[in-house]
Amino acid sequence: MRIPKSMKVAAATAIASATAVIGLSVPADAAGADGVCQSGEWCLYYGSYLNGSLRDYSGADANYNNDSFVSGGLGRFQTVANNARSALNANGFSYVQAFTGPSFTGTRGYAAPGAFGTLASPYFANLESHYFSRGPAGVAPTPGLLR
């Protein structure tokens, strides 16, 4: 059976388009730490009220001591551990559980999907690790991480 040339061209175009889209997609983990707070990320800021340099995370991080604030602004190149003063949970589906100690230890606080603001006590300038999690349906876990 012979396939018409127009169908071959259409199939080749579809394959090329799909390949281009797949080739341009960026894994979620690669998007983090680029200094731009994007959808799906946990973003920590050096200053209060989402000001200053930021560090963005697309996945969990057990040790902020290895991380620096990367965008322009006050605090750029400072260590994230014990220096973050505000945050934005740009992940619309998951809570962020953040901890005052490395490796998810110490006091735990929660940030709901879409939550943002200055970190509350005892988290203000005192965070060292975090991970994303699903919260209980319709109920915000406590204690709150942001004020």
The pLDDT of residue 140: 61
Domain boundaries, the chain: 28-133
Lowest-pLDDT range, 78-82, 103-107, 136-140?
Answer: 136-140
Q: How confident is the prediction for the chain on average, in pLDDT?
A: 82
28-133 is classed CATH 2.60.20.10:
yes
List beta partners, residue 45: 54, 86
* Range in 37-41, 46-50, 108-112 with the lowest mean pLDDT: 108-112
For residue 111, the tally of other CB atoms under 10 A from its CB is 27
pTM above 0.85, yes or no: no
Residue 122 has pLDDT above 70, yes or no: yes
Mean pLDDT of 103-132: 96
- Strand runs labelled E in 11-104: 42-45, 54-57, 86-89, 95-101
pLDDT at 4: 54
